[in-house]
Amino acid sequence: MPIDLNQLEGWVGGACWALARISGLLLVAPVLSANTVPPRIKMGLAVMLTVLLAPLAPMELRPLSAQGVATLAQQVLIGAALGFLLKLVFEAVAFGGQFVSQAMSLGFAEVLNPGLGGTTPVLSQFYTMIVTLLFLVMNGHLQLIGLLADSFRSMPVSDHGIGADGIWGVLQFASHLFAGAVRVALPALTAVLVVNLGFGAISRSAPSMNLFAVGFPITICLGIIAVWLALRGLPSAWDSLQTDAWEAMRQLVGRSSP
């Protein structure tokens, strides 16, 4: 049976739309976009998801037309927006770990972060590793792929995309970065603040005492104990932040194109 050229172009177009949205997601989404993941695995995952999700994309648009190029850019933007919303939750946890590090006088202790290609405080990396394991154990990566598949039904492929309202929704959710960081770091910060208030009272009662020599090791030791005790509340804080992110992502793709 001969294959019509128009039919072949429709198949290629459907694969292009799915691949563009998937590529945008894989470029930004946490865990999947990490530098530690080999490029071949990323490409293989993108191709596999494209084969599975291509039937959900329309085939009447021509990929080489002006409308096709605009549609391609919109699909990349939609995938990147979905990954960016989830990325903000991970960054909020890392930001909270940085707050605790500064309060414990551990801001100088930095390690190489292969996911970002730079250095981050030790506690930030530690918190990020914990929430990454929680994300994988709770099948967050599968839920992300399921949400991506549902987005082809709730937000069909077109040259309109998420629009200004969708972009504004993503920017509004960015405020969770600071609120989530405070939520993660608040228990340990409160304990370290009490310790610093105690040092302030000691410095007033015994001015001759060298608090820099005494307070530094005490602050680190008590800060580590506070972090250990505060880890019990990290899963609940992470679950709350992750729930807000999933809800924001559903609202983003739930906006049908005009």
pLDDT tens-digit readout, 210-222: 666 666 777 778 8
Distance CA(132)–CA(3), nearest Å, equals 46
Instruction: Find out whether 110 and 230 touch, Cβ atoms under 8 Å.
Output: no
Q: What are phi and psi of 119, to 5 degrees?
A: -110, 145
What's the confidence (pLDDT) of residue 258?
A: 39
What's the confidence (pLDDT) of residue 9?
A: 59
Q: With both helix axes pointing from N to C terminus, report the angle between 176-205 and 66-103 in degrees, rounded to the nearest 10.
A: 10
**Sign of the alpha-carbon dihedral angle for 44, 12, 28, 127:** negative
What's the confidence (pLDDT) of residue 167?
A: 78
Distance CA(1)–CA(138), nearest Å, equals 47
Structure tokens at 24: 């945008």
Q: Is residue 14 scored above 80 in pLDDT? A: no
Q: Is residue 95 scored above 70 in pLDDT? A: yes
pLDDT tens-digit readout, 227-252: 888 888 888 888 888 888 888 888 88
Lowest-confidence segment of 1-15, 140-154, 167-181, 189-203 by average pLDDT: 1-15
Q: Give the pairing type, strands 110-113 and 118-121.
A: antiparallel
Q: Is residue 1 scored above 50 in pLDDT? A: no
Beta bridge partners of 113: 118
Lowest-confidence segment of 1-5, 90-94, 139-143 by average pLDDT: 1-5
Q: Which residues contact 160 (CB under 8 A, 6 or more apart)?
A: 74, 257, 258
